[in-house]
Structure 1
Amino acid sequence: MKPNIAIIGAGLAGLTLARELSGHAHITLFEKARGLGGRMSTRRRDRHRWDHGAQFFTARSRAFRALLKPFIAEGAVVEWQPNITTLSPSQAPYKRPWFEPHYVATPGMNGLLKAMSPGLNIVLQTRVETLAQQAGKWRLLDDRAEELGEFDWVISSAPLPQTQVLLPFAADTWSGFGMQPCYALMLKVHDEDLPVWDAAQVNSSPLRWIAFNHRLPGRDRHLGAVVAHSSADWAAAHLEDDQDSVRERLTAEFCALTGVTAPAVQEAHLHRWRYALATDVDNDPPGYVLSATHRLAACGDWCLGGRVEAAFTSAHRLAAQLRRLGL
């Protein structure tokens, strides 16, 4: 008899785990948001779209390239070959080469997750708040204390701080892991008012990355949409500041760096990612957290130091270990 598994979070790690275990267990994914994505989500306003989390990804492992291959063939994933520059308040811009393929999903970064989701049992807009063990099963309750079902295993692919609160592991389980915040500034600017480059790495500034989102493959190039990410250190120092002030400061910094005039910015929106960036982890970590005794586990990019591919790798390794345990 196949076990029932609850997976919390329907980002890349959660979907990867569900796909790889679907032949071995009955899987239910619980996602607190309205749609798929996690940090690969896409923000919409009217016809404009901003990929306000992950902007691109690489594929360095054979397993991740194998996952992407059919989605590349069908056009859900496309190689991105942008004109990249480096910006600094005190230095002239200079071209920044990339030495490996970089990819984006279409028509938004959550397009990959949508392509991975058919056939999976996904419950959206549901926040798992509490676990309670009873007669060898895990009972899940939502944030209204309503029952979500009984499961043999519970696996969290949520960000580290949320996983720490949810799973009853010892405190020292989480040593060596960490996450940092980031602000995402989303601007509406006509394409003709923007520089000729497509994206920029930024040094010595509250901003660390700028991309003209509408120039990514599969987007509408007529709808000028800019995403600018803050540095983690700056976000941490200003995390609880008045959000209108943060938006205004980052917009002014964007204009100063790019030469875009303030009147050219038609709209400015801000998203505060409290848990955006994973800190570095020890060399050669397992890539997941697991207690076979309690039938609890966790995976995610934070287990391997960040990056989109790290989310896949963490879930891929955990799935393999669970199969070895006879799941």
Structure 2
Amino acid sequence: MKPSIAIIGAGMAGLTLARELAPHAELTLFEKARGLGGRMSTRRNGTHQWDHGAQFFTARTAAFKALLSPFIDRGIVAEWQPNITTLSPAKPPFKRLWFEPHYVAVPAMNQLLKTLADGLDVRLQTRVGRVAQQQEKWQLHDEHDRPLGEYDWVISSAPLPQTRALLPAPQLGHNALDGFAMQPCYALLLAVDDAALPVWDAARVNNSPINWIAFNHRLPGRQRQVGAVVVHSTPEWAAIHLENDQEQVKQRLIDHFCTLTGVDAGAITQAQLHRWRYAISTEVAEPDPGFVMNEHGRLAACGDWCLGGRVEAAFTSAHRLAGALRTRL
């Protein structure tokens, strides 16, 4: 009889883990959001869509390249070759070069995860609120304390603070999550007529509350005639203003965006603000093994925060954990 495994979170890490362990275990994924994606999710409003988390990803390891290869062949993943610039409030812009391929999912970033989830048991809009041990099983309950089932193993691929809150420290290891940290970020989502935007497609920003600007509609496979702009704040600025009035935060970011780009505020027809409390993993010296596991307690955790961020880091952490678990199931 195959062991039962509950995976908390259905982003890149959770779905990678589930796909690799599917032949060896009975798996159930619990995702609190309405749709798949995590920080690869996509927000839509009428004719506009914004990839308001990860804007792109790179592929540096053989394992991740192998995962992407069939999706590239099918057109689900495409290489992005933008005209990218560097902006600063006090200096003229200058062209920025990328020296490795950058990829996006088509027609939205969450499309890759939708494809990865095919055939898996994913319970959307199900927030795990409590994990408790009962004899030799783990019992999961939702936020209303309703039972979600009993499992042999529980694995969290959720952001670090949620993993800390859910997985019992005595069984996982009191110091197992020390050394990892995550930072916040604001995402400003704008609808702007493309004719009012500069000719470049994306920008890194220095010496500003803004860290990144992308004209989302110019990514491969998007509706290019519909201007959709994503603006990311720096984590430091977001941490300082995390609990401030959100309308004031939104307006300040709009003002900085207009100053940096020269876009007239009157050209902005929609503006939304998304607060990512757990957006960016702090850089860490790459640990071995790149995940957290207590075999005796039958608890584990993985995610990009184990390897310092990036989409590929989420995949790599889960890929390594899956390899370790296959020898133990």
The TM-score normalised by the length of structure 2 is 0.98
TM-fit CA distance, 1:73: 0.6
Equivalent residue, structure 2, for 1:239:
242
Equivalent residue, structure 2, for 1:37:
37
TM-fit CA distance, 1:267: 1.1
Q: 1:275 aligns with which of 275, 278, 284?
A: 278
TM-fit CA distance, 1:282: 2.4
Distance 1:151 1:253 in 2: 49
Equivalent residue, structure 2, for 1:156:
156
Distance 2:184 2:57 in 1: 19
Distance 2:174 2:152 in 1: 23
Where in structure 1 do 4 or more consecutive aligned residues deviate above 2 Å? 282-285
Q: 1:294 aligns with which of 294, 297, 310?
A: 297
Q: Is the 8 A contact 2:286 2:307 kept in 1?
A: no
Show the 5 A alignment for 1:55-134: 55-134=55-134
Q: 2:187 aligns with which of 155, 160, 184?
A: 184
Show the 5 A alignment for 1:255-270: 255-270=258-273
TM-fit CA distance, 1:132: 1.3
Uncovered stretches (5+) of structure 2, i.e. residues with no partner: none
Equivalent residue, structure 1, for 2:316:
313
Q: Secondary structure at the match of 2:324?
A: helix
Distance 1:131 1:305 in 2: 26
Equivalent residue, structure 1, for 2:218:
215
1:145 aligns with 2:148: no
TM-fit CA distance, 1:284: 3.7
TM-fit CA distance, 1:105: 0.2
TM-fit CA distance, 1:283: 3.6
Give the AA of the match of 1:87: L
Q: Secondary structure at the match of 1:276?
A: strand
Distance 1:73 1:26 in 2: 30
Give the AA of the match of 2:129: E
1:196-221 alpha-carbon deviations (Å, 9 max, x no partner): 00000000000000000000001000
Give the stretch that moved more between structures: 282-291 or 9-18.
Answer: 282-291
- Identity between Structure 1 and Structure 2 (%): 68
Distance 2:23 2:209 in 1: 47
Distance 2:289 2:210 in 1: 33
TM-fit CA distance, 1:175: 1.2
Distance 1:172 1:298 in 2: 13
Equivalent residue, structure 2, for 1:166:
166
Give the AA of the match of 2:311: V
RMSD: 0.7
Distance 1:206 1:300 in 2: 27
Q: Is the 8 A contact 2:128 2:140 kept in 1?
A: yes
Give the AA of the match of 2:316: T
Equivalent residue, structure 1, for 2:52:
52
Count of residues paired in the alignment? 326
Q: Is the 8 A contact 1:176 1:282 kept in 2?
A: no
Distance 2:242 2:269 in 1: 25
Q: Is the 8 A contact 1:185 1:247 kept in 2?
A: yes
Q: Secondary structure at the match of 1:257?
A: helix
Distance 2:266 2:130 in 1: 48
1:84-139 alpha-carbon deviations (Å, 9 max, x no partner): 00000000000000000000001110010011111100000000010111120001
Q: Is the 8 A contact 2:286 2:308 kept in 1?
A: no
Equivalent residue, structure 1, for 2:5:
5
1:37-64 alpha-carbon deviations (Å, 9 max, x no partner): 0000000111100000000000000000
Q: Is the 8 A contact 1:285 1:304 kept in 2?
A: no
1:164-201 alpha-carbon deviations (Å, 9 max, x no partner): 00001244211110000000000000000000000000
Q: Secondary structure at the match of 1:287?
A: coil
Distance 2:106 2:19 in 1: 21
Distance 2:101 2:201 in 1: 16
Q: Secondary structure at the match of 2:284?
A: coil
Give the AA of the match of 1:314: S
Uncovered stretches (5+) of structure 1, i.e. residues with no partner: none
Q: Secondary structure at the match of 2:212?
A: strand
Q: Secondary structure at the match of 1:63?
A: helix
Q: Is the 8 A contact 1:182 1:232 kept in 2?
A: yes
Distance 1:58 1:120 in 2: 25
Q: Secondary structure at the match of 1:94?
A: strand
Distance 1:298 1:86 in 2: 36
Distance 1:296 1:244 in 2: 41
Equivalent residue, structure 1, for 2:22:
22
TM-fit CA distance, 1:285: 3.1
Give the AA of the match of 2:262: G
Q: Secondary structure at the match of 1:172?
A: coil
The TM-score normalised by the length of structure 1 is 0.99
Give the AA of the match of 2:26: H
Distance 1:245 1:201 in 2: 23
